[in-house]
């Protein structure tokens, strides 16, 4: 499938589009060169349901669960979410800047949101991820790398060390590298 058919103004065809208001323009002339992996579940450790989509679209009922008090009022987003069954959901065009990394730095370059694409995996730090998620992730990263000059894929924990721990030790970086066959320099150091 040609690039033009895979993307429409930064939106991935075949993904379920769930537009978020939480985004802004990337700085002019930005090279989108980094993919950042996250894990998320709401409440933590509970899979399924629509709380993540509600959070990213500012429609979460903060009173629906005690945990939501801790994140009350947060306005965040990512470009993508990959659910446990491998379903791909997109919230923000990859041409725009999503709000997923916060204070962050990669290879001496700050503000990773400016130049990265954020991918949330439904999961919990320390727990394993599902085979359909790895399959969907590898497919997505291949398509992204054909369209934008991606140089590396790393975890939130690598661009915000000491502050963030996702996707965590349950994520199999070696499996992702084997699936993509990208050079080792494209991945964080594998323990």
Using the rule CB under 5 A, give the single segment among 15-23, 27-35, 136-144, 163-171 that binds Zn ion.
163-171
Cβ at position 164, least distance to Zn ion in Å: 5
Instruction: Please tell me the distance from the alpha carbon of residue 23 to that of residue 30, in angstroms, as a whole number.
Output: 15
Quick check: 166 binds Zn ion (CB under 5 A)? yes
Question: Is 6 annotated in the active site?
Answer: no
First to last CA, the chain: 36
Quick check: 114 binds Zn ion (CB under 5 A)? no
Which among 42, 145, 140, 156 has a CA at the least distance from the CA of 98? 156
Using the rule CB under 5 A, give the single segment among 60-68, 76-84, 102-110, 149-157 that binds Zn ion.
149-157
Quick check: 97 binds Zn ion (CB under 5 A)? no
Q: Which is nearer to Zn ion, 38 or 79 (CB)?
A: 38
# residues near Zn ion by CB under 5 A: 3
Residues from 25 through 84 that contact Zn ion (CB under 5 A)? 38
Token look-up 């399924």 returns 48
Cβ at position 106, least distance to Zn ion in Å: 14
Of 6, 87, 120, 130, which is the active-site residue?
A: 120
Instruction: Please tell me the distance from the alpha carbon of residue 132 to that of residue 129, in angstroms, as a whole number.
Output: 9
Helix (H) or strand (E) holding 3: helix 3-6
Quick check: 156 binds Zn ion (CB under 5 A)? yes
DSSP letters, 23-91, are EEEPPTT----EEEEEEE-SSTT--SSSHHHHHHTT---TTSSGGGGGGTT-----SEEE-TT--EEE-
Catalytic residues: 120
Q: For binding to Zn ion (CB under 5 A), which residues are involved?
A: 38, 156, 166
């Amino acid at each position: 499938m040609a690039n033009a058919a895979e993307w429409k103004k930064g939106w991935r065809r075949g993904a379920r589009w769930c537009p978020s208001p939480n985004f802004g323009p990337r700085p002019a002339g930005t090279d989108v060169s980094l993919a950042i992996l996250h894990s998320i579940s709401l409440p933590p450790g509970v899979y399924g349901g629509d709380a993540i989509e509600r959070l990213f679209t500012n429609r979460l009922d903060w009173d629906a669960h005690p945990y939501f008090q801790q994140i009350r009022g947060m306005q965040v987003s990512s470009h993508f979410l990959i659910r446990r069954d491998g379903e791909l959901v997109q919230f923000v065009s990859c041409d725009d800047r999503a709000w997923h990394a916060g204070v962050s730095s990669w290879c001496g370059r700050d503000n990773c949101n400016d130049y990265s694409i954020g991918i949330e995996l439904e999961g919990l730090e320390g727990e394993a991820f599902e085979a359909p998620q790895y399959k969907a992730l590898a497919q997505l990263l291949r398509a992204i790398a054909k369209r934008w000059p991606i140089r590396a894929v790393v975890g939130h924990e690598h661009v915000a060390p000491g502050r963030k721990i996702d996707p965590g030790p349950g994520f199999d970086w070696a499996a992702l590298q084997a699936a993509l066959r990208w050079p080792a320099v494209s991945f964080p150091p594998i323990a």
